[in-house]
Structure 1
Amino acid sequence: MAIGVPENEVFAAADAVLARGERPTVERVRLELGRGSPARVGGLLDQWWTRLSERLSGETRLPTLPGEVSQAFVAVWQQAIHLAQGVAEQALDEQRQVIAAERERVATVEEQARQDAARFRQQATEAMAGRQAVETRLADLELLLAQRQTQIEDLQQQREALLRERGDVQQQNQALQQDLQALRLKAEQERVAQESYVRNVEDRAHREVDRAREEVKAVTAHFKEAGRQIEQLQRRLESIQTELSQTQQRAAAQHARAETLEQQLAQVRQPPATKRKPRTRKAAAPKSVS
């Protein structure tokens, strides 16, 4: 683990600053070194001032000199020590101010970090709440989707039932049409036969007038009966055609309703940002059966 700039380099830098006639401070020593944190340099600078005092005190032990010279030299060194102590105290005050500023900065950073952490926790709480809301909405949409799917399946079954019923009605209508055509053909054949018979009767009118009249009456009654049967079949056919038209209309309405539900289901499956207004489709008019 790194412990910062070595103390001998800090001491050498402080000596260099002092040699220039400047008071060694944290910033000047760091400028002299070109590196080092304020806390590391400040702590070592305190040690340098202490050792400087010891060095100055050691220099008072001088070799034997003349009395006046020795006293003057001691006075000078004592004055230097006094000045050095003042400078050291001032440097300590500056160091304390730097440390206090650093502590204030660290406290500000810690407070900002606490605020950021609180904000992040609040954002995380809001994000969790939003996620729960989205999951709840998703569950509701899935339930609605299942309900709509069930409705669509029911409508499809109803539609298939109506289509089968329509097919049955069409088959019945075709059968009635065939019956009606057969009756018409039979009636036409009977009419042709009747006309032929009438012509034969006219040829034999002189011989069998009374008999011919009776036969004509019988044939006429039979023809009227066939005409009534044809009219009844036509009325029945019209009733079946009316019922078939109503069935086709119901089937068209059910088909339109199924398409509307399919469009609603498509809207439900789309994300909220991409939902578009569904286009209204007109139900195809049912074709009448001739």
Structure 2
Amino acid sequence: MAVGVPETDVFAAADAVLARGERPTVERVRLELGRGSPARVGALLDQWWGHLAERLRGETRLPTLPAEVSQSFVAIWQQAMLLAEGVAEQALAERRAVIEAERLQVAAVEDEARQLIAKARQQVAAAQAAQHTAETRLADLELLLVQHQTQLADQKSRCTELAEERRVAVQEVTVLRQELQVAQQQLIHERDTATAYLRGIEDRAHREVDRAREESRLAAAQLKIVTRQHGQLRQRLDTVLSQLLEAQQVAAAEKARASTLEQQLVRPTRARRTKAKPTKSKSKAAAQAETPGSGC
């Protein structure tokens, strides 16, 4: 509602309320006007009550009337004045009560406003402290982020180096596997050769043994008949037994060599280093094997 309503409008509204037989109050006058603040209407209503008393005193000056009528009218007028003064005092008391209530309300609002301001200041201080803490935390996080980024870059570089090392290691492993396969094939070939050689030696030894047995059997059969040849047969038997012993020794050496070659299957590096030696040993063993045979 607008503030600063004219006093004439307030006075007219108060007269209208009084004309209806109601006591003019702030709320009734404001309701009659349809506008006006309580403080403005209350102040003008106080003026209206003062003007009303002057208006009523002016009405006591009546024209010349019969004495009885004049006395009756004056008595009625005085009674109306008393009633009006009572109404005015009651209205003033109500107005004072309204003003006091409004003052208390304003004081409560001011107190609440002070509390809100104090609370707002506390909130502002807390917000500023939280902002400072957040800014400090943000700076720490930014520093931590830089450190993590540096560590991540180092880890990426290390991963690249490890990937290159892994690639080189894979190539080396591939080469070693190929060399191992070649060495295994060579060892298998040498083992097969040695096995065949040992079987040949064993077969020759078995044949020598069989022949020696046959000769021994013949010698035993002819012992009764050819007593003079006993010494020669005995010497020949000793020779055969010596050759058999040498053949068994060669067979044992070849078996040991075959066992060594089988163990070298899991050690291709040592097999490559000692690849020349078995060949020499093989030649030497072959030479040793051929020597007894030639004697036979």
Write out per-residue CA displacement over residues 18-45 of structure 1, whole angstroms, 9 at most, x where no aligned residue. Answer: 2344432223334444554422321221
Q: Aligned residue for 1:90?
A: 90
The normalised TM-score by structure 2 is 0.53
Which residue is equivalent to 1:184? 188
Paired residue type of 1:160: A
Give the structure 2 partner of residue 259 of structure 1: none
CA distance in 2, matches of 1:237, 1:90: 126
Distance in 1 of aligned mates of 2:21 and 2:266 = 133
Question: Which residue in 1 is equivalent to 2:267?
Answer: 236
What one-letter code is carried by the residue in structure 2 that aligns with 1:185?
Answer: H
Alpha carbons of structure 1 residues 141 and 190: separation in structure 2 relative to 1, 3 Å: same
Shifted more, 38-47 versus 181-190: the winner is 181-190
1:98, distance to aligned residue in structure 2 (A)? 0.5
The residue number in structure 2 matching 1:171 is: 175
Cα deviations across residues 250-275 of structure 1 (Å, max 9, x unaligned)?
Answer: xxxxxxxxxxxxxxxxxxxxxxxxxx
**Distance apart, 1:69 and its partner CA:** 6.7
Measured in 1, the distance between the counterparts of 2:173 and 2:23 equals: 117
Contact preservation (8 Å) 1:17, 1:28: yes
Q: Check 1:232–1:154 CA distance in 2 against 1; reply closer, same or farther (3 A cut).
A: farther
Matches within 5 A, 1:1-290: 2-3=2-3, 5-33=5-33, 36-63=36-63, 65=64, 68=67, 72=71, 77=77, 80-81=80-81, 83-127=83-127, 129-130=129-130, 136=137, 139=141, 142=145, 145-146=148-149, 149=152, 153=156, 156=159, 160=163, 163-164=166-167, 166-167=169-170, 168-186=172-190, 188=192, 227=258, 230=261, 233-234=264-265, 236-237=267-268
Q: Which runs of 5 or more residues in structure 1 are unaligned?
A: 203-212, 240-290
Residues of 2 paired with 1:76 and 1:235: CA distance?
144
The structure carrying a bigger helix percent of its residues is: 2
Greater shift, 41-50 or 133-142, is seen at 133-142
Q: CA deviation at 1:156?
A: 3.6
Identity, % of aligned positions: 48
Q: Residue 11 of structure 2 contacts residue 45 of structure 2 at CA under 8 Å; is this kept in 1?
A: yes
Name the CA distance, whole Å, in 1 between partners of 2:256 and 2:164: 39
Tell me the C-alpha RMSD between the 2 structures. 5.1
Query: Which amino acid in 1 is paired with 2:186?
Result: A
Q: TM-score, normalised by structure 1?
A: 0.54
The higher radius of gyration belongs to 2
Amino acid of the residue matched to residue 163 of structure 1?
R
Count of residues in correspondence between the two structures = 231
The 1:174/1:110 distance shift into structure 2, 3 A limit, reads farther
Query: Could you list the per-position Cα deviations for residues 55-113 of structure 1 after superposition, in whole angstroms to 9, with x for gaps in the alignment?
Result: 223334444x2584797456665664455344323322221210110121122223223
